[in-house]
Chains A and B, each alone.
Chain A
């Protein structure tokens, strides 16, 4: 049976969201700093594209993939990029709200996966 990567992906997304939260907080703290331009994290889809590029190894002659499934490139920190635009407080606060919502989604997904596992454990007993 192939390993289930539900937890890994949700946890990775939660981690990405926290990094983004740090970037947004930095932008808001520097809202009145002259010459400061807003920072943002590279989109999560880039992380996903990097993650999904793995293939099954069906014959002995195939190359062995070091990474498997949704484990991705591990705990490599995401690149925080300079967007080159000035900080707009309203935009940053909207971003912060979006972050809050997706973090809530991540934690509920983790909880429901956990509940699924617990259900199967209990029914097996």
Chain B
């Protein structure tokens, strides 16, 4: 087991990484909110979701976090009538991605809040280490 303060920095780092992966996936979803299929009648872009998992790290003796998988959202696609679209099937229906902008925005806010909280932990560990080092300086 390593020094608890160093372990805390590592855990907070893992948290920052996990939340930034989540933010990346949110922007992927937003960028592809209108991406239809290449072939007529095909499936459009499927919304991606991030899953976190807590993992016990023996070296640091505490539980860290990691992104286990980036899976697809099984929500059915929305169908729009748009015969002019290259992705339209024989009846003129186009499947649109199952990306909901409001949900993505809410997810983005949550990711950014959690990122801030993790960053706060890094700052605090640094201030605690500084306090300890100040003992040497003018103890």
Measuring CB to CB, which residues of chain A are less than 8 angstroms from any residue of chain B? 14-15, 18-19, 21-26, 28-34, 36, 39, 77, 80, 89, 92-93, 96, 99-100, 103-104, 107, 110-111, 114-115
- Asked if residues B54 and A36 are in contact (CB atoms below 8 Å), the reply is yes
List 7 additional A-B contacts (Cβ < 8 Å) besides A18-B5, A100-B124.
A21-B121, A29-B12, A29-B14, A29-B15, A29-B118, A89-B113, A115-B139
Bound complex: CA A45 to CA B52 (Å): 35
Pairwise interchain contact B134-A107, C-beta atoms closer than 8 A: yes
A107 touches B132 (CB 8 A): yes
Residue of B with least CB distance to A118: B139
> Does B135 lie within 8 Å of A110, measured CB to CB?
yes
Interface size class of B (residues with CB under 8 A): 35 or more
Give B residues with C-beta under 8 Å from A.
1, 3-5, 7-8, 11-12, 14-15, 18-19, 22, 51-54, 60-65, 110, 113-114, 117-118, 120-121, 124-125, 127-128, 131-132, 134-135, 138-139
Would you call the interface of chain B mostly helix, strand, loop, or mixed?
A: helix
Q: Is A21 in contact with B124, judged by CB distance below 8 angstroms?
A: yes
A28 / chain B contacts, CB cutoff of 8 Å: 12, 15, 114, 117-118, 121
